[in-house]
Amino acid sequence: MKGMSMLRTICLALAMLPLLAPRADAAIIDWQAELQRCRELRQNVAPLLQAGEGISAVGRSNRSVRRCIWIQRMAVRKKIPGAEVW
């Protein structure tokens, strides 16, 4: 009885392994490269911000700006060197 339960547990774990493996790879972020890309993007967006457009208005119109805002927030939260608040 006990051996059958252990066998079921092992089979279940082996069946779930392929489902979990891709997620581990998807979470890897090259923080320094992302922060550099966001700095460059911020330089391009700076004229709009200086003209009076709010960051939320610019962010709604541009997917990469929204991603950079998210990257910056996560980097600040994780205390990544070089992270700055937008």
Global model pTM greater than 0.85: no
Surface-to-core class of residue 84, CB atoms within 10 Å of its CB (0-12 exposed, 13-18 middle, 19+ buried): exposed
Average pLDDT rounded to a whole number, residues 1-10: 70
Specify the number of domains making up the chain: 1
Q: Is residue 83 part of a domain?
A: no
Please compute, for residue 5, the number of CA atoms within 13 A of its CA located in the half-sphere on the CB side: 2
Q: Which tens digits make up the pLDDT trace of 22-66?
A: 554 556 889 999 999 988 888 887 787 778 776 666 666 678 888
Find the domain containing 50 and state its range. 31-77
